[in-house]
């Protein structure tokens, strides 16, 4: 019988501990988790990008609901443990749930320190520790007014940058003379302040807060010199303290944190502690790398799989603010027993300082250029005598030997045990061997199998260089290739910055991202237009002049300069009325060719451009809308007759296909999307070579995706089985929205799936029901603002209002 393991807390440390435990000792424990937050496990160090708008909460979830179900874990969300009974070996929550345990892990994290000044309890005074704090700040930022952040450390500066990105006027108050004085020397602190102020954030150092001003809500902050700074929001980010109250009440040994030995055991051998609440060897930790080491040690102790012990290792400090590069590690204080090497480049804003003792590195501070951080850290960790390279040390690894070298060669020369990912403690050798052994070809694959670059992401460049070394020319990701000659940025970086900087027009993107041309080109303008349509559906006006000609005239241009028109036939179904209307149009305009397409529609070929408005006017009177045969969007949903007529049909495939098509038509996607719904496994609608397909079976609906039947021929991947038509629709819409939000322009679903990974797509679009619903809701929201066939140019001198029969047919009307 499995032992009972109870975990109090569901943060990053216990989450990683469970990953190790489930891998090494599956089935040993019946696991229950109590989480005070009403949600699943997420990456707390990525809260700053959520605040700034660079990421959504769904993107930082580590373990979605489906993960707990798949591993048989009971998760109580929103349950705060109020008592531990060590004699009875039970824990009790504030909702009245009492659970017995054989082994207990306490992972209660930390609590923010609130300065005990008058006004600290006023509405509008927030801390910065969890998603609730971020959501409260985002809500406050909607006012677009003023914020004061008290604390110029890591969290304070990240909060300030995020609030500024959300449109607030922000002032940072810091009691010390320079920012981040615990992690940076004064010179780097000065440069950091200058970089922060260049973003429009005011910084006041030597600022001692006297009180928070206000009656019923925050109105400002008064300093001890009498200065009053107006504020509608005050964020306190002055430090954290281990959350030990529960352990102390249970009679466990507590100092600053819950006292543990090197195997993470507390004074009660059946109870372990991990994370920010734990104190091991007299030290408490707040950075993720040591917390993950605690997780690994605790998992080994619980699983009986080894005698791993926690050992202190210096952890580098990095700031998660886009565009500010800093790195610090070790001891860089002044002293008579040490020397320093300093490099300053004032024009480039670069500062480097390496502190030496007895010929060995004991501390490093880098600002503005941090690529050599891992190399300096490796030299420090191994206590290598740097005397032979002292004269060139400060120029970095590439300059050793007296000449500049290829950056790839510099990474190649790193030892196999050189740490690449500080957050997860992943060395070069593990990354390279895993790439080779598993045949990994994408960054997401490497993240999934090694955890490198999966946390804060600052080591991504190094990981990509290792992939280039390991895979050679076969590794050539579009993400690091420019979109076109107008910019040095790749699609992924452009899309991230559009969100991060709230860029909502093409001119704004080109100005803020420093486009090299005045108006862009035929490659970048359609891509930018799509990204803006997808990211700001309620604010951005679709620029049809940035679309290809087919999309502008709602017809496919042919080799002789004429056009083909394909009206939409929902699910391939039609009627005598519609057929007569098409026949009348063919006769009236002497259309020379009519063809039934592979998508079960009728294509009229050879139409003159000047006739297009009148053709569409006549078709519109009959109720037709465009079939979008030209679109980077949903084109067709091919169906078979299903249970209505076929003796083999298991479900109403025609009805589901029509429902999907009417729900999703008119939505722009990165590339064309074709779907199919087959009523039984005989697959007459060829659903297993579509972008998205459904195979109806007796037990429900088997959803497929990532097929191709063009230049590339590829069968679909099975996403999963759902029981109802409603579930099938929700999953298909969620999958499509995930693709819309993550794919690069012109990247088909099967290529996107290969890059992201089928397991990750399945996790987000199927298994994690909360995230799936969020994708679905965002698709529905975007459809409220979809401009269905808005004719935005004059065709042969005819005004766009002549196209009203088509343009006026809204998404809602068509769906009814």
**Six-digit token string for 31:** 């696991």
Question: Please, what's the largest Cα pairwise distance for the chain?
Answer: 97
Q: How many CB atoms lie within 10 A of CB 622?
A: 17
If you compute the radius of gyration of the chain from its CA atoms, what whole number of angstroms results?
30
DSSP lists the bridge partners of residue 749 as: none
What is the C-alpha to C-alpha distance for residues 184 and 582, in angstroms, rounded to an integer?
A: 73
Q: Please tell me whether 456 is known to bind a ligand.
A: no
Give every CB contact of residue 11 below 8 A, 6+ residues apart in sequence. Answer: 41, 44, 107, 109, 275, 276
229 contacts 217 by C-beta, under 8 angstroms:
no
597 contacts 610 by C-beta, under 8 angstroms:
no
What is the C-alpha to C-alpha distance for residues 109 and 215, in angstroms, rounded to an integer?
A: 33
What is the C-alpha to C-alpha distance for residues 487 and 483, in angstroms, rounded to an integer?
A: 7
Q: How many CB atoms lie within 10 A of CB 652?
A: 19
CA atoms within 13 A on the CB side of 433: 7
What is the C-alpha to C-alpha distance for residues 172 and 737, in angstroms, rounded to an integer?
A: 38
Q: Please tell me whether 680 is known to bind a ligand.
A: yes
Q: How many angstroms from the chain centroid is the CA of residue 765?
A: 14
Give every CB contact of residue 2 below 8 A, 6+ residues apart in sequence. Answer: 27, 28, 29, 30
Q: How many angstroms from the chain centroid is the CA of residue 444?
A: 12
Task: For residue 723, give the H/E element and its range.
Answer: none
Q: How many CB atoms lie within 10 A of CB 347?
A: 5
The DSSP symbol for 802 reads G
Q: Which residues of 572-606 are buried (b: 16+ CB within 10 A; e: fewer)?
A: beeeeebeebbeebbeebebeeeeebebbbbbbbb
Pairing of strands 169-174, 146-150: parallel
**Six-digit token string for 369:** 């250029």
Strands (E), 109-219: 110-112, 125-127, 146-150, 169-174, 202-205, 209-213
The residue behind tokens 């006023």 is 122
What is the C-alpha to C-alpha distance for residues 568 and 600, in angstroms, rounded to an integer?
A: 10
**Six-digit token string for 4:** 């009972």
Alpha helices in 422-540 (DSSP H): 428-438, 443-450, 460-471, 491-500, 506-512, 524-535
Measured between alpha carbons, how far is residue 553 from residues 594, 604, 613, 617, 789 in Å?
A: 19, 15, 9, 13, 9
Pairing of strands 202-205, 169-174: parallel
Q: Which of 788, 754, 442 lies closest to 620 in space, CA to CA?
A: 788
* DSSP of 619-656: HHHTT--B--TT-SBEEEEEE--HHHH-TT--S-HHHH
Q: How many CB atoms lie within 10 A of CB 276?
A: 29
The DSSP symbol for 555 reads S
Q: How many CB atoms lie within 10 A of CB 472?
A: 9
Q: Please tell me whether 421 is known to bind a ligand.
A: no
The residue behind tokens 């345990």 is 101
Task: For residue 186, give the H/E element and its range.
Answer: helix 186-197
Q: In what order do the strands lie in the sheet with 228-230?
A: 209-213, 220-223, 228-230
418 contacts 398 by C-beta, under 8 angstroms:
no
166 contacts 172 by C-beta, under 8 angstroms:
no
Which residues define the annotated binding site for [4Fe-4S] cluster?
Answer: 640, 646, 680, 684
Which residues define the annotated binding site for siroheme?
Answer: 684
Which residues define the annotated binding site?
Answer: 640, 646, 680, 684
């Amino acid at each position: 019988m499995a032992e009972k393991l109870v975990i109090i807390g569901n943060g990053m440390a216990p989450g990683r501990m469970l990953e190790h435990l489930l891998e090494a000792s599956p089935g040993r424990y019946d696991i229950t988790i109590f989480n005070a937050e009403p949600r699943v496990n997420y990456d707390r160090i990525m809260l700053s990008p959520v605040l700034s708008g660079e990421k959504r909460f769904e993107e930082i979830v580590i373990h979605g609901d489906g993960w707990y179900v798949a591993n048989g874990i009971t998760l109580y969300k929103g349950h705060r443990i109020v008592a531990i009974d060590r004699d009875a070996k039970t824990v009790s929550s504030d909702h009245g749930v009492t659970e017995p345990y054989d082994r207990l892990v306490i992972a209660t994290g930390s609590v923010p320190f609130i300065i005990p000044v008058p006004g600290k309890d006023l509405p509008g005074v927030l801390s910065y520790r969890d998603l609730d704090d971020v959501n409260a700040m985002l809500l406050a930022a909607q006012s677009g007014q003023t914020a004061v952040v008290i604390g110029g450390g890591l969290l304070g500066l990240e909060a300030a940058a995020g609030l500024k990105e959300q449109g607030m006027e922000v002032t940072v108050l810091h009691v010390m003379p320079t920012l981040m004085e615990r992690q940076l020397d004064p010179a780097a602190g000065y440069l950091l302040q200058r970089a922060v102020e260049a973003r429009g954030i005011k910084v006041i150092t030597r600022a001692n807060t006297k009180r928070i001003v206000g009656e019923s809500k925050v109105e400002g902050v008064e300093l001890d010199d009498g200065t009053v700074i107006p504020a509608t929001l005050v964020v306190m980010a002055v430090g954290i303290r281990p959350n030990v109250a529960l352990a102390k009440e249970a009679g466990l040994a507590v100092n600053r944190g819950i006292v543990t030995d090197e195997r993470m055991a507390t004074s009660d051998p059946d109870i372990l502690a991990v994370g920010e609440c734990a104190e091991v060897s007299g030290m408490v930790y707040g950075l993720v790398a040591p917390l993950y080491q605690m997780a690994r040690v605790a998992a080994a102790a619980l699983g009986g799989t080894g005698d791993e012990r926690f050992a202190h290792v210096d952890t580098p400090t990095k700031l998660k603010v886009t565009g500010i590069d800093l790195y610090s590690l070790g001891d860089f204080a002044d002293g008579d027993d040490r020397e320093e090497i300093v490099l300053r480049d004032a024009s480039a804003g670069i500062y480097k300082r390496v502190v030496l003792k007895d010929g060995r590195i004991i501390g490093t501070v880098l600002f503005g250029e941090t690529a050599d951080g891992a190399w300096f850290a490796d030299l420090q960790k191994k206590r290598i005598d740097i005397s032979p390279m002292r004269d060139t040390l400060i120029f970095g690894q590439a300059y050793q030997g007296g000449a500049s070298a290829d950056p790839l060669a510099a990474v190649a020369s790193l030892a196999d045990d050189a740490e690449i990912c500080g957050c997860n403690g992943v060395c070069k050798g593990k990354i390279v061997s895993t790439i080779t052994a598993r045949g990994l070809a994408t960054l997401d694959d490497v993240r999934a199998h090694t955890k490198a670059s999966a946390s804060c992401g600052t080591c991504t460049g190094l990981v990509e260089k290792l992939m280039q070394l390991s895979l050679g020319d076969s590794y050539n990701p579009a993400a690091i290739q420019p979109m076109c000659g107008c910019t040095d940025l790749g699609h992924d970086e452009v899309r991230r910055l559009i969100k991060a900087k709230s860029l909502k027009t093409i001119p704004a993107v080109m100005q803020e991202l420093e486009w090299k041309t005045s108006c862009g080109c035929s490659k970048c303008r359609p891509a930018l237009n799509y990204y803006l349509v997808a990211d700001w559906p309620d604010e951005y006006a679709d620029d049809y002049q940035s679309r290809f000609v087919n999309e502008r005239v709602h017809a496919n241009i042919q080799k002789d300069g004429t056009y083909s028109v394909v009206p939409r036939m929902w699910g391939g179904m039609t009627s005598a009325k519609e057929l007569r209307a098409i026949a009348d149009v063919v006769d009236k305009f002497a259309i020379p060719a009519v063809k039934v397409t592979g998508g079960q529609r009728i294509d009229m070929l050879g139409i003159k451009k000047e006739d297009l408005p009148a053709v569409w006017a006549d078709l519109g009177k009959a109720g037709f809308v465009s079939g979008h045969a030209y679109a980077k969007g949903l084109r067709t949903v091919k169906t078979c007759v299903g249970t209505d007529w076929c003796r083999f049909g298991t479900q109403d495939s025609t009805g589901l296909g029509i429902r999907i098509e009417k729900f999703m038509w008119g939505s722009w996607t990165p590339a064309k999307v074709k779907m199919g719904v087959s009523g039984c496994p005989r697959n007459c609608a060829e659903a297993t070579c579509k972008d998205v397909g459904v195979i109806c079976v007796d037990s429900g609906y088997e959803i497929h995706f990532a097929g191709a039947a063009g230049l590339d021929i590829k069968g679909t991947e099975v996403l999963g089985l759902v029981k109802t038509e409603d579930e099938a629709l929700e999953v298909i819409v969620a999958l499509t929205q995930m693709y819309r939000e993550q794919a690069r322009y012109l990247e088909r679903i099967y290529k996107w799936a290969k890059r992201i990974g089928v397991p990750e797509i399945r996790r987000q679009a199927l298994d994690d029901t909360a995230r799936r619903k969020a994708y679905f809701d965002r698709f529905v929201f975007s459809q409220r603002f979809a401009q269905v066939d808005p004719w935005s140019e004059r065709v042969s001198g005819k005004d766009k209002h002549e196209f009203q029969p088509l343009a006026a047919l809204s998404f809602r009307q068509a769906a009814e």
